[in-house]
Amino acid sequence: MSGSIAGKVAIIGAGITKFGELFEQSYNDLVVEAAFEAYEDAGVSGDDVEAAWLGTYLPLGWGFDGTGGPSLAEALNLYPKPVSRVANYCTTGMEAVRMAAMAVASGMHDVVLAVGAEKMREVPPRGSLVAQHVEKLHPMYSKGRTAPGSFAVLARRYFEEFGADKEDLAEVAVKNHYHGSLNNRAHFRKEITKEQVLKAPPVTEPLGLYDCCPTTDGAAAVVLCRADLAESRFDKKDYVLIDGMGLSCATGYITTAFNPKFSFIGFEATQEAARQAYEQAGVTNPREEIDVAEVHDCFTITEILNYEDLGFVEKGEGPDFVKSGASRLGGELPVNTSGGLKSCGHPIGATGARVVADLTHQLLGRCGERQVKGAKRALGHTLGGPGAVSSVFVLSRN
């Protein structure tokens, strides 16, 4: 590792819109709402922002032509400042934050904005991302390599390797819906039972309806600055520091399952991104040193694999970790206190930024009923590709 971001960048403001089916709000409405909430939290205005990054994965796929840096500049009146759009599959929102943080750490800018946004509910099923993949990309998509299909293969392989079953997956769904019921920004604010999960309509064996995250509209934003300016310029007594960041592209998007190193019981990208972030942050025992985590749970099996890849438990121990209550609010290491992608929702470009914003609120003690008491250090994780790319952040309260 050639360098570390630890101690160089502060998060001084965070904003998150309501997630859900937001037909009454435009793409720009969501961006503006998230950004101005972050501005207000930070005590800044657009005049203070020197540069901005927009994370949005596939706006053309949802019917939003030409969404890029100029779109964000227009929505927030950031002319003539440098504004860029980034996309990196489901790590897109976190990638926007990572790029913004590196710009501050490098000394290029003092105050920056990162926004993640996506509107996914405007397109009917015939025009969905799945349909476009089948029509325009690799022929294997027409044979069932949808996102649920890809992760169902991992679940089946995990079951065979470790003796897990659908009831183990249901534990994740029940937990995250409980957490989501406490989050007023979540797409789904309802608890569910294990019986409901197990009796739900099948999507792709062994995954059922409640094993899958929804497609969602939403946006999130964070304001970052040089750590030494958080108090001296913006009079912040409490703020969040970025202790470590990691990003890994371990394989190609289409070729994930054809990579001879791909184990089907874990993600090399997550393991490598975590290694980078932990090294920068000085984390040697994540289960003991992390107080709260937001991890990628696009499907219930994904959260179980992430427990293991992030070093919370050894391989094969993920089901016992969730069944023990360790990852539930009040447990040893609460995971996805927002409800995760499963309940909060997954507007692809927004998710990573939402993770960082949500953990900022956790570390500053703002989460009400779902607050992890005394949380001082947090981990944020996203995964995309599926499994091709992963991003990991370690954050702490100053």
Task: List active site positions.
Answer: 90, 346
Residue 154 in contact with residue 303, Cβ under 8 Å? no
| Beta carbons within 8 Å of 313's beta carbon, 6+ residues apart | 287, 307, 320, 321
Bridge partners (DSSP) listed for residue 395 = 242, 378
DSSP-derived 3-state class of residue 107: coil
Q: Which pair of tokens denotes residue 26?
A: 């435009």
| Beta carbons within 8 Å of 2's beta carbon, 6+ residues apart | none
CA distances from 163 to 160, 168, 323, 390 (A): 6, 10, 15, 27
DSSP-derived 3-state class of residue 244: strand
CA separation for the pair 59, 70 (Å, rounded)? 14
| Beta carbons within 8 Å of 338's beta carbon, 6+ residues apart | 179, 180, 183, 185, 186, 294, 344, 354, 355, 358, 370
Give me the sign of the Cα torsion angle 328, 333, 337, 341. Answer: negative
CA separation for the pair 116, 95 (Å, rounded)? 9
- In terms of Cβ atoms closer than 10 Å to its own Cβ (0-12, 13-18, 19+), residue 201 is exposed
Closest CA to 122 of 217, 253, 228: 217
